[in-house]
Chains A and B, each alone.
Chain A
């Protein structure tokens, strides 16, 4: 129980840290971005919009503390301000419309890569010294070293441009009206295939090598040796004895990956002009849309933090050693 309280406490503190970083950063930077922003938007926005912006950033009026309190209040009442790049659309509705794209694309790619990678990792550790065991870690290492957005560029070039198998950008064909028609869904699938494949390949190596190393580690434990000597069938040894324990560290990575679903595709989305949250953040930075930058960063951070909390709590259920605080 103490462990659970401990983890929740850490979650709250780290959430506070993220929120505060988000508050302090724009106010701490040299050259005061808020001023630069005003200079930029002078004449572009209506006076009332400028007033609202001034208020949001508390220029020249309220104390820093008052600004902080206002900021927190706005945050928790989901009043995240209005976007500058698509004024006066509320930031929350823009995020709301791009979030499903990201979660759909990255979520599915992550799930596939976790299951495939873990299964392959078990298989490889099983067939040690086999063809796959010798080649796959090296191939996956090479993938780890490549910048995956560049791999995405290559895919766009080869499969999108040269072979013309898949569309090169966007989330769906703009000529088709969105809706639950087979035509639209097919278009979404076609557009998601290449970015999904990039994300899948980018993540796969980590899962394979991670699971393989965990398996090798647990296969060295005495209880596995004992079970082997006792004559336990190899398949049972692999799944019930070794893999069950080896999967624990994978679970941590899995939760972190789930948390990264929101942010994990910033580069890929940029390459494919995919209408997700990463693209929104990039666009926001390019057009100095500060409410949007702050909100999307906070969203990404909260996703990661919540995923971390979940894994910590889950871990204590799965690994009794942590709950009881024994065995170091």
Chain B
């Protein structure tokens, strides 16, 4: 891709110049380096498949109130039906879709905003850094959930996608801070100086030199931002601040708790959505374990030291 010297501390970036397939394989390789991230990756893939093929997997239209209401799980309705006669299993399947889209959309968007603020600030320094850093700090200290609730209050009944947008716009600051710190350590390395000497524009240096060299941090940030976005979206939907006719796990929990599913003992209504959120979240946390092992060499070094050679350090 480029011909500069990559810093040696980033093993994932030392990809040999093989075919495209090899490159892609290399990206996913860390996920299979330990059991935790492998499990995470598999759970994640299952939910991606569910989200993509929701119309095929789900037996019924999720919002059609055409079935017998208040059924407990049966062969026809695996998770029973709602009090208005909607099939809960179909709702569960379709919800995976909006949750994944909103989660990843918001996660990626907030990472991009964070990158802009962090990398530009960290690379430019001076006044630019002071201004961008100040805005970042403001967003960092603002109470996120409360701010989102207030925005939702004025918007009234937004769609899940709008909620995702709000989450991204309010929650990028943490990433920006991490990116800024990392950019500052990279900015004085030899390969950046070499790029500067060769007359590369600042913008090009940031995009082609700095960003690729913190790919693992970016990946980790995307995962955490996505997890945060999924939980935030679910929370807002549960509070009823999202369009209550949308299909998402949070909205399902909203209807379940507002129709006394708890008191009727209808556990098949409120357990699956939470479990769905939890499993997607868990897969992200587990996959992040792989990223963490790469980005934080100290976690690795320590194991070796404390084991006193009783067992070879494993990644």
In the complex, whether A161 has a CB less than 8 A from a CB of chain B is yes
List B contacts of A243 (CB < 8 A). Answer: none
- Count of chain B residues with Cβ under 8 Å from any Cβ of A? 53
Which of A60-68, A89-97, A213-221, A315-323 is found at the contact surface with chain B? Answer: A213-221
B262 touches A157 (CB 8 A): yes
B291 within 8 A of A: no
Q: Is the CB of A300 within 8 A of B146?
A: yes
Does B285 contact A14, Cβ atoms closer than 8 Å? no
CB distance from B314 to the nearest CB of A (A): 11
Residues B231-257 near A (CB distance < 8 A): 231, 234-235, 238-241, 253, 257
A304 and B150 contact, CB distance less than 8 A: no
Are B145 and A266 in contact, CB atoms less than 8 angstroms apart?
yes
A75 at the interface (CB under 8 A from B): no
Complex interface: chain A residues within 8 A of B145 (CB):
263, 266-267
**A48-56, A99-107, A190-198, A281-289 - the one binding chain B:** A281-289
Q: Chain A contacts of B235 at CB under 8 A?
A: 147, 149, 266-267
Q: Does A233 contact B (CB under 8 A)?
A: no
Enumerate 28 A-B pairs (CB-CB under 8 Å) in ascending A order: A21-B147, A29-B154, A29-B155, A129-B307, A145-B280, A147-B234, A147-B238, A147-B277, A153-B253, A153-B270, A153-B274, A157-B265, A157-B270, A160-B262, A161-B265, A219-B306, A260-B143, A266-B146, A266-B235, A271-B257, A290-B153, A296-B146, A297-B143, A297-B146, A297-B147, A300-B143, A304-B142, A304-B143
Residue of B154, B234, B279, B280 touching A33 (CB-CB under 8 A): B154
- With the chains together, A22 CA to B149 CA distance in Å? 12
Q: Nearest A residue to B36 by beta-carbon distance?
A: A138
Cα–Cα, bound, A259→B144 (Å): 12
A269–B280 Cα gap in the complex (Å)?
25
Interface residues of B, Cβ cutoff 8 Å to A: 36, 134, 137-138, 141-143, 145-147, 149-156, 227, 231, 234-235, 238-241, 253, 257, 262-263, 265, 267, 270-271, 273-274, 277-282, 284-286, 298-299, 301-303, 305-307
- Whether A142 is near chain B, meaning CB under 8 Å from some CB there, is yes
Q: How far is the CA of A141 from the CA of B134 in the complex (A)?
A: 32
Which of B235, B299, B307 has its CB near the most chain A CB atoms (within 10 A)? B235
Whether A145 contacts B153 in the complex (CB less than 8 A), given A153-B257, A263-B145, A266-B145, comes out as: no
The CA-CA distance from A149 to B265 in the complex, in Å, is 18
Q: Which residue of A lies closest to B151 (CB)?
A: A25
A residues 139-192 in Cβ contact with B at 8 Å: 141-142, 144-147, 149-151, 153-154, 156-157, 160-162, 168
In the assembled complex, the CB of A25 is this many whole angstroms from the nearest CB of chain B, namely: 6
Contacts of A157 in B (CB 8 A): 262, 265, 267, 270
Q: Which residue of B lies closest to A153 (CB)?
A: B270
Within 8 Å by CB of B278, from A146, A160, A220, A294, lies A146
CB distance from B12 to the nearest CB of A (A): 21
A18 at the interface (CB under 8 A from B): yes
In the complex, A26 has a CB within 8 A of chain B: yes
CB-CB < 8 A to B154: which residues of A? 25-26, 29, 33
Give the residues in chain B near A150, CB-CB below 8 Å.
Answer: 234, 253, 270, 273-274, 277-278
Q: What CA separation (Å) do A263 and B142 show in the bound complex? A: 11
Q: 19 new A-B pairs (CB below 8 Å) besides A266-B146, A270-B239?
A: A29-B154, A145-B227, A145-B278, A145-B284, A146-B281, A147-B231, A147-B235, A149-B238, A161-B262, A162-B265, A216-B298, A216-B302, A219-B306, A263-B146, A267-B238, A293-B153, A297-B146, A297-B150, A304-B143
- Let me know if B142 and A301 touch, CB within 8 A: yes
* Docked complex Cα distance between A21 and B137 (Å): 15
The 6 A-B pairs with the shortest beta carbon distances in the complex, nearest first, are A145-B281, A150-B274, A29-B154, A285-B153, A145-B282, A146-B278
Whether the Cβ atoms of B146 and A17 lie closer than 8 Å is no
B301: which A residues are within 8 A, CB to CB? Answer: 220
Query: How many whole Å from B38's CB to the nearest CB in chain A?
Result: 14
Identify A285's interface contact among B241, B274, B282, CB under 8 A.
B241
Shortest CB distance B117–A (Å): 16
How far apart are the CA atoms of A13 and B145 in the complex, in Å? 21
CA distance A252 to B102 in the complex (A): 31
Q: Is A308 interfacial (CB 8 A cutoff)? A: yes
- Closest A residue by C-beta to B263: A161
Q: Which residues of A contact B231 (CB under 8 A)?
A: 147
